[in-house]
Chains A and B, each alone.
Chain A
Amino acid sequence: MNSLAQPARWERVFWPILACALFIALWHFSVVWTATKVFPSPRDVEKGIAGLLQKSVLWGYIGDSLRRVAVGFGAAVLVGIPLGLTLGWYRVADRVVNPVLQLLRPISPIAWIPIAIILFGIGDAAATFLIFLGAFFPIVVAATNAVSNVPSMYRRAGRNFGLTPAGILLKVVFPAALPQMIVGLRIALGIAWLVVVAAEMIAVDSGLGYLVIDSRNSGKHYDLVVAAMLLIGLIGLGLDILFRRLEQMKAVRWGFRHVN
């Protein structure tokens, strides 16, 4: 097959389905051949999901998880983008703030759990705070880099047409940096979805993360554990696909176009 050729339509559907089918088959036969009593088979998990869907609690859990991500991620965007724009614009500010950011950035949000509980107690606020932390650093770093990567030619053109510094920031630097910022937002959203599950295992008693840990603790329901894991994966994939849609917007698509 010519690697430059566009895959045919049937191929784009066929190969992913085949891969999923093979994965499920491998899973099924692994369970059968090892004769495990603990790990659920695909059939068990399917029944588990069906059972969860009948109880309305599942939709509530999904809603809770998504709400926490929306609030934590939203707050990270609202604080992180303006901060990143400022740091990218004023190099001096970046030199002051950057060492602190670089020191805090590698600390996993999980390590913040004790602090979050001291600050916010056990509950939604603590979980949201952890999500905020997980999303905040990648957003700031992406926005800072995006602004400092804007070609000087664009700023020069902005100055030439008589824009004020604020005008250059809003009408030139922001749109020029937007594609790279969207990449950062997408990574941050992925991290936020990872963190919400971890946060819900500790700080709250609802959500998909809580479902995983609760299914295990209340009678070792591993079919429900795996069912919840699969749902987490599917919803995460869905969020990523939705976010990729943003990259197709005309005002930013130029930044994602690969050289042919």
Chain B
Amino acid sequence: MPSSEIVANAMLESKLRARQINMTFKSGSESISVLENIDLDVATGEFLCLVGPSGCGKSTLLSIMAGFLSPTSGTVTIDQEKITGPDPRRIFVFQERGVFPWLTVEGNVGFGLFKLPKAEQDRRVAHYIKLVGLEGFENAYPPELSGGMKQRLEVARALAVNPDMLFLDEPFGALDSITRLIMRGELLRIWDAERKTIIFVTHDIDEAVQLADRVVVLSDRPAKVQSVVNIDIAHPRDISSARYLELRDGILAQIGLAHRV
């Protein structure tokens, strides 16, 4: 699906709609404004990346959209429904530290399936372990896995409950650069298979341009939406093509501007 079409869909029918999000943290007598008048629309099945200078409030915005934090003002609606808390239909994926070390790979993947009949649980566990390539490690405990495997395990745990959205907070931030490249390919493959709506926070511009349909660039604190960049390159993306470099350098320049004194 060409990206222009996705953008057009976003206009017609948004999966997620954030309106005038403001967030202020109080520390003592001081109050720090973190997010200022954020408006965001995300289409069904879209892969959206949030980038911005470190500490600008990307993760705060993600936590608000996932329902873990309430904004100081503004609303987030998903499928026309105002969100008031976290929900199994929308799973938040941390860095790989979010897997439960006391459960096996199978136990972790099956964690959210407690309401389903046993046979269905087993079917889904097997399916998602296979999807993320962890066959043979069903009975391994997370400390026995590498960082990349733990990250895939956490993605499998999220996908197993069949959510319609995934929120990923710098999921590959703790991985080495080779594993990170492999994981990007894996995530795109899984996204292609499952077509979840994904909101992905990263501070890595290359990562955003490689993965996303659209990249939302946030400004330095208090974060505002500085620009929204359509990545109009088909997958698999040639990361030395002129268009790729143009888009990437454009975003880099914007972040650079945000840093200029």
List A residues at the B interface (Cβ < 8 Å). 151, 153-154, 156-157, 159-162, 167, 171-172, 175-176, 178, 250-255, 257
Q: Which residue of B lies closest to A178 (CB)?
A: B102
Give the distance to chain A from B200, nearest Cβ to Cβ, in Å: 17
Residues of A within 8 A of B88 (CB): 160-162
Contact A153 B112 (CB under 8 A): no
Q: Top 8 closest A-B pairs, CB basis?
A: A161-B112, A254-B101, A162-B88, A175-B102, A160-B86, A251-B102, A254-B143, A159-B86
- Interface flag for B61 (CB, 8 Å): no
Residues of B within 8 A of A159 (CB): 68, 85-86
A153→B92 CA distance, assembly (Å): 10
Contact A162 B102 (CB under 8 A): no
Contact A160 B111 (CB under 8 A): no
Give the distance to chain A from B115, nearest Cβ to Cβ, in Å: 8
- Interface flag for B100 (CB, 8 Å): yes
Interface residues of B in 85-106 (CB under 8 A from A): 85-88, 90-92, 94, 97-98, 100-103
Q: CB < 8 Å: which of B86, B98, B112, B143 contacts A154? A: B98
Give the distance to chain B from A169, nearest Cβ to Cβ, in Å: 14
Residues of B within 8 A of A171 (CB): 111
A156→B63 CA distance, assembly (Å): 11
A253→B142 CA distance, assembly (Å): 11
Most buried by A among B91, B100, B114, B115: B100
Contact A156 B92 (CB under 8 A): yes
Contact B87 A254 (CB under 8 A): no
Residues of A within 8 A of B101 (CB): 254-255
Q: Which residue of B lies closest to A160 (CB)?
A: B86
Q: Which residue of A lies closest to B63 (CB)?
A: A156
Give the distance to chain B from A181, nearest Cβ to Cβ, in Å: 12
- Interface flag for B212 (CB, 8 Å): no
Q: CB < 8 Å: which of B94, B114, B142, B143 contacts A157? A: B94
Q: CB < 8 Å: which of A162, A167, A172 contacts B100? A: A172
Known contacts: A156-B68, A159-B86. The answer to whether A254 contacts B102 by CB under 8 A is yes
Contact A153 B141 (CB under 8 A): no
Contact B100 A154 (CB under 8 A): yes
A162→B142 CA distance, assembly (Å): 22
- Interface flag for B223 (CB, 8 Å): no
Contact B102 A252 (CB under 8 A): yes
Q: CB < 8 Å: which of B102, B103, B111, B142 contacts A161? A: B111
Residues of A within 8 A of B94 (CB): 153, 156-157
Known contacts: A161-B88, A161-B161, A254-B142. The answer to whether A176 contacts B97 by CB under 8 A is no
Residues of B within 8 A of A167 (CB): 114
Q: Mark B135-178, 1 if CB is under 8 A from A, else 0.
A: 00000011100000000000000000100000000000000000
Known contacts: A157-B94, A160-B91, A254-B141. The answer to whether A175 contacts B86 by CB under 8 A is no
A175→B88 CA distance, assembly (Å): 21
A36→B86 CA distance, assembly (Å): 76
Residues of A within 8 A of B102 (CB): 175-176, 178, 251-252, 254
